[in-house]
Amino acid sequence: MSIYREYDIRGIFEKELNEQSVVRIGYALASKIEGEYVAVGYDARSHSPILFEYLVHGLNAGGKKVLDMGLVPTPVNYFTNYQDWNGITPSASVMITGSHNPSEYNGFKITINKAPFFGEDIYALGRECEAMDFPLKVARDVTKIDALTRYVDFLVSEFQHLKGMPSRIVYDCGNGVAGVVTERIFGALELNTKGLFVDPDGTFPNHHPDPSDEHNLEDIKKLLATDGDIAFAYDGDADRIAVLTHKNNIKGDMMALLYAMKMDKPTVVGEVKCSQVMYDELERRGAKAIMYKTGHSNLKVKMQEVNADLACEVSGHVFFKNRYFGYDDAIYATLRMLELIHDGIDLDAELAKLPQVFSTEEIKVHTTESEKFKIINRVKELLQTPPNSFPKIKNIIDVDGVRINFEHGWGLVRASNTTPVLVTRFESTSQEEAKLYEKAINDLILEAKNSL
């Protein structure tokens, strides 16, 4: 059951994701899908095509026909749900990907009726698979579709106005699957680009494909320093982006502020880790800012619910409903960022206008799966009567863990939905107070752990 996570299914190839488990997943999933067709794509990992065949076995045995899009980024997989394929519109899609996990991992991101399949639905699917007999094999029913070309043509058409822009653009695909579209799109738009580690290689020989980790940005920073005006980096399946200038590593919340500049009073959904600067600045501009739970599935559902134009996670998931379909797409986000530059916006100058705050990176506190949510609940109890030495609390937001607003900043502690850790983050107008908030909340976490 450990492979069934909050937002997707993820595990180690052969050990956890093998013929027995994956065929069952396909068969059980087929019963959740009303229509006849499921579109399936996969990332660059060497075992992804093997898992594709296992999944096809299960889906076919469950009465579903498969549209095979082959090797594609996750956003292409999402895009397929909005397209007609010779009179066929898929009722669901499955992306076979381990995202930014090490090369031995793989998994499945599932979309049904254009909405994420996640949370209790995934856990229930897991329980069903555990109790299931192995499905019989039936005749293979797979039709190939060229989703990649359809996606490339769409983006090239949408961004024709960028054709030939002079900015020197450098980017790092990390040997993930982004490279199968970047070359084609940038080439068609005649952009001045230079790419690193563009060829997909599921062993990730150059660095880990996770641009939220500064260590993985060393190569692209060197290239930016000598050959670039703007830099981009992508995770393994190209649904997360890093944007770098000569002065800034622009996190997802600050990207959202920049993107929103070209929207008329947008509704923007952020997560609990986003800077207060983002929420305050959006409201100051007349936009509507909504704080919600972390997780790409959560944000997609919330966007739909409130009809938002944009959503973001600090980690680099950026979701556009404005002029797009409402899912996280790092390639599309790249072109929207280039559009800002094309329109004369100086990214660094805009960021320099914002109030200066001191924010920590995500700090992880290791615990256990069985204890992490208990600790959060105990922290909530302790906050009802905090110690006298605790910083003055303005209010508490408990939409996802606990975000405590203080007089000059905030602190967050939440349980990760995918790993046995608590995630903390702190922000203040002064570095000293950010450290003070960090110490106060860490002391509270320790007291909560010791009282279990």
pLDDT of residue 451: 92
pLDDT of residue 148: 98
Q: Are residues 92 and 206 in the same domain?
A: no
Q: Are residues 44 and 99 in the same domain?
A: yes
Residues 6+ apart with CB under 8 A from 447: 382
Q: Give me the CATH number covering residue 288.
A: 3.40.120.10
Q: Give me the CATH number covering residue 398.
A: 3.30.310.50
Q: Are residues 62 and 26 in the same domain?
A: yes
Q: Among 145, 180, 202, give the residue marking a domain's end.
A: 145
Q: Are residues 288 and 419 in the same domain?
A: no
Quote the CA–CA distance of 333 and 211 in Å, as a whole number. 14
pLDDT of residue 183: 95
Confidence of residue 419 (pLDDT cuts 50, 70, 90): confident
Question: Domain range holding 44?
Answer: 9-145
- Domain tally, the chain: 3
Q: pLDDT tens across 130-157, in order? A: 999 999 999 999 999 999 999 999 999 9
Q: pLDDT tens across 115-133, in order? A: 999 999 999 999 999 999 9
Q: Are residues 240 and 379 in the same domain?
A: no
Is 99 designated active site? yes
Q: Are residues 96 and 175 in the same domain?
A: no
Q: Looking at the domain assignment, is residue 2 inside a domain?
A: no
- Per-residue pLDDT for 361 more than 90? no
**Average pLDDT of the residues in 406-412:** 97
Confidence of residue 102 (pLDDT cuts 50, 70, 90): confident
Q: Among 94, 119, 145, give the residue marking a domain's end.
A: 145
Q: Are residues 293 and 209 in the same domain?
A: yes
Q: Are residues 89 and 178 in the same domain?
A: no
Q: Among 103, 125, 145, give the residue marking a domain's end.
A: 145
- Per-residue pLDDT for 101 more than 90? no
Q: Of 21, 91, 93, 99, which one is the catalytic site residue?
A: 99
User: Contact at 8 Å (CB) between 140 and 64?
Assistant: no
Q: How many CA atoms lie within 13 A of 341 on its CB side?
A: 23
Q: Are residues 135 and 88 in the same domain?
A: yes
Q: pLDDT tens across 157-177, in order? A: 999 999 999 999 999 999 999
Give this prediction's pTM. Answer: 0.95
- Percent of the chain clearing pLDDT 90 (strictly above): 96
Q: Are residues 295 and 164 in the same domain?
A: yes
Q: pLDDT tens across 187-246, in order? A: 999 999 999 999 999 999 999 999 999 999 999 999 999 999 999 999 999 999 999 999
Q: Which long-range contacts (CB under 8 A, 24 or more apart) does 346-349 make?
A: 347/230, 347/243, 347/245, 347/248, 347/250, 347/258, 348/245, 348/246, 348/247, 348/248
Structure tokens at 83: 């397209």
- Per-residue pLDDT for 418 more than 80? no
